[in-house]
Amino acid sequence: MKLHTQISIALVAGALAGLASNYFGIGWLQSTLVAIEPIGTAWIDLITMVVVPLVVASLVVGTASLGDMTKLGRLGGKTVAFYLVTTAIAVTIGLVLSNVIVPGGRIDPATLESLRNAYMDESAQQVQTAQAQDTGIVDMLLGMIPRNPVAALTEMRMLPIIIFSIFLGAAVSVLPEDTGGSTVISFFDGINEASMKMVHWIMKLAPYAVFALIAAVVAQFGLEVLQSLLVYCAVVIGGLVLHLLITYTSALKFLAKVDLSEWFKRIREVPLIAFSTSSSNATLPVTMETAEEELGVSRESSSFVLPLGATINMDGTALYQAVATMFIAQVLVGQLALTAQIGIVLTATLASIGAAGVPSAGIIILVIVLTQALPAGVDPAAGIALIFGVDRILDMCRTALNVTGDLTAVSVIAVSENETLTVDAPRKPSEARSAA
Ligand code: ASP
């Protein structure tokens, strides 16, 4: 049986087991499913273990083999532009849906009160964490330059790691023959190949991890809270699906010109893993492996576009932040004016760049968007408490979209660099003739 089939079966089986234990209140099953969660956590740790060596090695080799440094600038410009534009579209979709459906207007006061009582403490903690992390834009930019690259590596700070690896790769590429540049490249090439091998091995264990992770989440999940926030969840998930159907499929069809069904078939493991782990970072090795081995993207493009994407491209997170902010505003202070909503496009786009690719990063960063959008004096914690109960489930969905966005970007950018993908749409005879 193919791996993605095994993963899909594990996902459905885990969800059903969790649901049954929760719905029928089967205590022993619920505690067993919660008890096996460490199997999933161990797997996440295992795959995360590969992230740093893989990103460093592939970026050093990728940058060094670009040959021409102007290509690096072009690739960087295209990547950042694609990420910013798609994120802004995602936020706009979230805002339009929230204006049309008004999820915050459809919730009764008793439900609000019980949500607030249940989640106020956790919510206040999130706000504290966010305030401790919020160092301002200048410090955030300065933090991208790793004064000590080894510290950046040990703390797994992705942007500084990316910057250092690109610098190292660029320097290696201009070394004269006799100064050991090629030894450095073969060293990192070996590390890259070995990292990919580890990803292959670790992926074989993925179905067990997916079962454990999903079963534990669903078993612990309050079905009542899902019911009370059904419209809000439907707007977030509907927005994610629309973004996939409108933005990504158009980009893939018209810019990357790939065969859509083949493309989705080949990448399906990636959103499944992202959904189960709620982490773009933990999914990154699988995303890179899929781009190179399933889609035929070159190492230069994948090593450059994907690590950057896992860190700064979070369309799902940005869309969720737009809907969450609108929902909270509708409940606490009523509909927001157009200018405040334009502010949300800007802050949600920037805030999603600042969010790390780890579980629940989105809700912490939401504090920044809320503080900017809500009138002065409204406590963001009171808003976060309303949506905290369903955050995990929405985190899983937005992470799945985040990684699909990264793969869309890498496909579009690779094709724009004249790479031929293995999922290129069959050409019409006239196109094939003119290409020849
Ligand atoms: N978990 C998300 C990710 O890793 C970030 C978030 O929205 O919380 O992409």
Q: Are 169 and 71 in contact (CB under 8 A)?
A: no
Give every CB contact of residue 78 below 8 A, 6+ residues apart in sequence: 413, 416
Q: Is the pLDDT of residue 351 over 90?
A: no
Residues 175, 181, 185, 186: is their CA dihedral positive or negative? positive
Percentage, residues of the chain above pLDDT 90: 60
Give the whole-angstrom CA distance, residue 430 versus residue 436: 10
Q: Is the pLDDT of residue 426 over 70?
A: no
357 φ, ψ (degrees, to nearest 5): -80, 55
Tell me the mean pLDDT in the region 175-200: 90
How far lies 140's CA from each of 59, 89, 135, 344, 350, in Å?
A: 22, 24, 7, 20, 11
Ligand 1 centroid from CA 284, angstroms: 12
| Three state DSSP letters for 283-294 | HHHHHHHHHHHH
Q: pLDDT by residue (tens digit) across 128-147?
A: 777 777 666 677 778 889 99
Give the whole-angstrom CA distance, residue 399 versus residue 396: 5
Position 434 scores a pLDDT of 46
Residue in 313, 360, 366, 391 to alter for ligand 1 test, most ligand atoms within 8 A of Cβ: 360
User: Percent helix, strand and coil across the chain, each rounded to 5?
Assistant: 85, 0, 15
Q: pLDDT by residue (tens digit) across 245-257?
A: 999 999 999 999 9
Higher pLDDT, 75 or 354: 75
Q: Are 92 and 321 in contact (CB under 8 A)?
A: no
| Residues forming a β-bridge with 424 | 258
Q: Is the pLDDT of residue 225 over 50?
A: yes
Please count the other Cβ atoms lying within 10 Å of the Cβ belonging to residue 265. Answer: 12
Domains in the chain, ordered, with CATH?
3-426 (1.10.3860.10)
Q: Are 398 and 313 in contact (CB under 8 A)?
A: no
CB burial string 228-261: b at 16+ within 10 A, e below: bbeebbebbbebbebbbeebbeebbeebbbbbee
Residue in 325, 392, 399 to alter for ligand 1 test, most ligand atoms within 8 A of Cβ: 399
Ligand 1 centroid from CA 352, angstroms: 9
Q: pLDDT by residue (tens digit) across 369-401?
A: 898 888 888 888 888 999 998 999 999 999 999
- The average confidence (pLDDT) of the chain is 89
Q: Are 155 and 51 in contact (CB under 8 A)?
A: no
Q: pLDDT by residue (tens digit) across 269-299?
A: 999 999 999 999 999 999 999 999 999 999 9
Query: Any residues with Cβ below 6 Å from ligand 1, and which?
Result: 278-280, 314, 317, 355, 357-362, 395, 398-399, 402
Ligand 1 centroid from CA 426, angstroms: 35
Give the whole-angstrom CA distance, residue 329 versus residue 323: 10
Q: Are 406 and 304 in contact (CB under 8 A)?
A: no
